[in-house]
Amino acid sequence: MKERSIKPELEVFDTGMVNIAKYLERHHLITGKKYFNIIPGNINTASATIGSVDSIVTCLPADSVWSVGGLGRFQLPMNVVSIVGGGHVRVEIEDSIHYD
């Protein structure tokens, strides 16, 4: 990826995964502005709440770009959280194929 100047999409489900991104940054495996997709709302991820998203966003490296897309029924509420919080919106997530 570095040889081809490809910027990775860093999909994170909780603050621990942000720590991994910071580790990669410290070891110069990823550099520059980072793009994070925050995906809460599963039993083994951060909960789909404003507080959880805020905790993750607060941990992101400086100058990061981020979006939120909730899993399943949390897709639309988490999109709203992202818009209100100043992030971007992830749509067409494979876990949210139905919307009533």
Which structure tokens are listed for 44?
Answer: 């083994």
Predicted TM-score (pTM) of the model is 0.87
Q: What is the model's pLDDT at position 63?
A: 85
| Burial zone of 73 (CB within 10 Å; 0-12 exposed, 13-18 middle, 19+ buried) | middle
Contacts of 56 (CB under 8 A, 6+ apart): 12, 14, 15, 18, 38, 40, 46
CA distance 12 to 10: 6
Q: What is the model's pLDDT at position 94?
A: 63
What Rg value do the Cα atoms of the chain yield, rounded? Answer: 14
pLDDT tens-place string over residues 28-66: 999 889 999 999 998 999 999 999 999 999 999 988 999
